[in-house]
Amino acid sequence: MQSKLLEVKNLTVNVEDKEILHGVDLDINSGETHVIMGPNGAGKSTLGFALMGNPRYDKTGGSILFDGEDITDFTTDKVAKKGMFLSFQNPIEVPGITLSNFIRSALEERTGERIKLWDFKKELKKVMQSLDMDATYAERDLNVGFSGGEKKKAEILQLLMLKPKLAILDETDSGLDVDAVRTVSEGIRIYKEEVKGALIIITHSTKILEALSVDKTHVLVDGRMVKEGDSSLVTEINENGFESFM
Amino acid sequence: MKEKTYVDDIDRSIYDFRYENKDAYSIKSGLTPDIVEEISERKNDPEWMREFRLKALDIYNEMGIPNWGPPIDGLNMDDIVTYVKPNTKMSATWDEVPEDIKETFERLGIPQAERESLAGVGAQFDSELVYHNVRKEVEDQGVVYTDLESAMHGPYEEMIKEHFMKLITPRDHKFAALHGAVWSGGSFVYVPPGVSVEIPLQSYFRLNAPGAGQFEHTLIIVDEGADLHFIEGCSAPKYNIANLHAGAVELFVGKNAKMRYSTIENWSKNMYNLNTKRAIVEEGGKIEWVSGSFGSHTSYLYPMSVLQGKGARSEFTGVTFAGKGQNLDTGCKVVHNAPDTSSYVNTRSISKGGGISTFRSSVVVNKKAVNSKSSVSCESLMLDSESRSDTIPAMDIKTKDVDIGHEAKIGRISDEAVFYLMSRGLSENDARALIVSGFADTVSKELPLEYAVEMNNLIRLEMKGSIG
């Protein structure tokens, strides 16, 4: 039997005093893969940011239960430590810390323990290989001067190293060429297989979903969940667009 | 609009410890020819130095206080005890240093640093060198690293007389004149032709006696084809009355010689730091300045490079961190006096809690300096809306055949970047500190590892506070 991992109840979210989400519900069990689709401006990214506790996204109502705890008012770092991960659409460049050191500090923050450098480097190298990432990226400053594709790979690398219980992938496939999409998909497959974590995939397109078995599809329009279905809903939207939901 | 979380000032008590000043010799407040004569006598100056001091005093009395920079009204020269002699003589071994002074140094980590990779330590306690040790291999290379006072009585007297305050003259400004009159302590380094000093020489300055000014003089001559890295670090205990630091650093970089001068200044927050640093670079030579300015109440600090010979080069890398109550006016000057010279300036300034950070630069390219290059780039980061950051670049270009660039950027920490780092589990404090360290990274990566670590720790301490 699967246990409930995430329970979002009637969540309303304001951004700069304007309500963007008008009462969203979302239930996810451990290890499930959910897809959230919707037209531009529907509030998909807002939902991701709000779940992750971004202070700009003001939760004015409802609640978020994650892994048995009410995290509605948690700060972002606490949400992260509890096992949630958000892959950014536009990862930020941070000079002064290498990708490798950043992942290690993040891991140490999570576990509260010092991590043995040797073991860490070994695992990092292995994961980078599986993502077809040049090993030199580990010693480069976090995202600084990375191409769009390398930034997304670096996000997936962090996902695989940090091993969260729930990963939210926000348009991870956007702007990538075919090869990069394949690599990112492979990363997601490894996450499902080895970490056995749950996934929320926020996307416009369906390319990234081809290799995955989707448990549920949600359609978000104008800040409301308007439709819920299985993976066949993805195909339907792919063929007919969102018009029938608007 | 959401206000930025206020980051509290750091607890500086770890730096602001001090010991009671015991029976040290201390002259009466205020500055008269009698006092200067008395200093000269105590220092056992040669006659020429005594005369130099008195001339400098005249100039000091003639000149006005600079009126173009941050206010220094809080500074009352009549209150400054200019000279405090610690009750100890120069020491060659650590064991001979008196216990309380030793403890102060130990808390500053000097013996550890010395034990590690440093070549020599000339650490200054008050106005006197109390601890001095040059590693044997450096001496064997013919390198002289000693205090200026005793060098004046040895075989290098002529060399000192020839160079002392020739680059920074007492006429430069009122505090240079003051320095000329009352200077005390500091280092003399001579690197003979072709000698490359493998490990950096280090000195550590520290003020202690209440109201005492510090006027140490650093004179370094790097002869033709030689290579030296000199590190100067400062930290001072905190007192209620105004403290003044008016040191002078004169660097002579010979033909095809190379010198790097690294500093982290970390004065307590009542210090008026009116320091003057200057280098002259001969043909094919190079000066590299690495400068981190923390602490102090008010700073005026603009290391200057005079590119005197063909193809001479200068590089300046600096970071300034101004917190609550601080007004730090820093930058650099370059004078291109010969063809094919180049200068490269890269600075970062950070202001927080209402602190003011001003970057001031001056690049002069004289007529003879054809085919020269200069590039100035400064970036500022303001951590909240009450802080201030200004950029005042000046350029005076007297020839056409030059390549000049200037770039200035002012910004704030992006909330997006903080959120990104926090989404991986870093606390808000750590995320902000990381971004600020990254911003200052261009400087810290120029420093030797242990100094880079110290600078990052300083940034972390400066950033630490009550974040809600």
Average pLDDT, chain B: 80
Domain match, B331 and B467 both: no
- Tokens matching residue B300: 């005026």
Is the CB of residue B440 less than 8 Å from the CB of residue B350? Answer: yes
Phi-psi region of B169 (alpha: psi -120 to 50; beta: other; left: phi over 0): beta
Q: Which tens digits make up the pLDDT trace of B152-202?
A: 998 999 999 999 999 999 999 999 999 999 898 888 999 999 999 987 887
Domain match, B426 and B291 both: no
The residue length of chain A stands at 246
Domains in chain B: how many in total? Answer: 2
Residue B5 covered by a domain = no
Q: Percent of chain B, pLDDT > 70?
A: 74
Domain match, B462 and B372 both: no
**What confidence category does residue B417 fall into, taking pLDDT thresholds of 50, 70 and 90?**
very high
Tell me which of A63 and B34 has the higher pLDDT. A63
Neighboring chain A residues of B431 at a CB cutoff of 8 Å: 77
How close A62 gets to chain B, by Cα (Å)? 22
Residue B86 covered by a domain = yes
Is the CB of residue A9 less than 8 Å from the CB of residue A62? Answer: yes
Residue B2 covered by a domain = no
Helix axes A99-111, A148-162, angle to 10 degrees: 30
Tell me which of B16 and B363 has the higher pLDDT. B363
- List of residues 6+ apart from B273 with CB closer than 8 A: B245, B265, B267, B293, B296, B298, B299, B300, B301
Average pLDDT, integer, range A49-59: 96
- Tokens matching residue A187: 């990363």
Neighboring chain B residues of A79 at a CB cutoff of 8 Å: 423
Chain B touched by A109 (CB under 8 Å): yes
* A48 pLDDT higher than 70: yes
Q: Give the least confident one: B16-30, B187-201, B313-327, B439-453.
A: B16-30
Chain B touched by A240 (CB under 8 Å): no
- Residue that finishes a domain, picked among B413, B439, B456: B413
Residue B3 covered by a domain = no
**Which of B422, B425, B438 comes nearest A110 by C-beta?**
B425
CB contact under 8 A, B425 and A80: yes
Domain match, B358 and B464 both: no
CATH topology of domain A4-92+164-245: Rossmann fold (3.40.50)
Tell me which of A2 and B33 has the higher pLDDT. B33
Q: Which tens digits make up the pLDDT trace of B280-307?
A: 999 999 999 999 888 888 999 999 999 9
Domain match, B248 and B366 both: yes
Instruction: Domain of residue B450: give its range.
Output: 414-468
- Hey, of B5, B348, B379, B420, which one would you mutate to test binding to chain A, going by the most A CBs within 10 A of its CB? B420
Q: Which tens digits make up the pLDDT trace of B100-157?
A: 555 555 555 544 444 333 333 444 444 444 445 555 668 888 999 888 888 899 899 9
pTM listed for this prediction = 0.78
Q: Which tens digits make up the pLDDT trace of A161-216?
A: 999 999 999 988 777 888 888 888 899 999 999 999 999 999 876 777 777 889 99
Average pLDDT, chain A: 91
* A31 pLDDT higher than 50: yes
Domain match, B217 and B356 both: yes
Domain match, B342 and B445 both: no
Residue B371 DSSP one-character state: T
Chain A touched by B438 (CB under 8 Å): yes
Q: Which tens digits make up the pLDDT trace of B15-64?
A: 454 555 544 445 445 678 888 888 898 888 999 999 999 999 999 888 88
Residue B8 covered by a domain = no
**Which of A54, A102, A109 comes nearest B419 by C-beta?**
A54
Neighboring chain B residues of A160 at a CB cutoff of 8 Å: none
* B213 pLDDT higher than 70: no
Among B381, B294, B391, CA closest to B345: B391
- List of residues 6+ apart from B177 with CB closer than 8 A: B56, B57, B59, B60, B63, B170, B171
Domain match, B104 and B90 both: yes
Q: What pLDDT shows up at residue A167?
A: 97
Domain match, B129 and B270 both: yes
Residue B369 covered by a domain = yes
Residue B399 covered by a domain = yes
Domain match, B429 and B292 both: no
Domain match, B392 and B428 both: no
Contacts A–B by Cβ distance under 8 A: 75
CB contact under 8 A, B438 and A54: no
Domain match, B130 and B205 both: yes
Quick one: which H or E segment has residue B373? Answer: strand B372-382
Q: What pLDDT shows up at residue B206?
A: 46
**What confidence category does residue B3 fall into, taking pLDDT thresholds of 50, 70 and 90?**
very low
Chain A touched by B422 (CB under 8 Å): yes
How close B454 gets to chain A, by Cα (Å)? 15
Among B302, B297, B319, B320, CA closest to B249: B302
Q: What pLDDT shows up at residue A133?
A: 93
CB contact under 8 A, A75 and B426: no
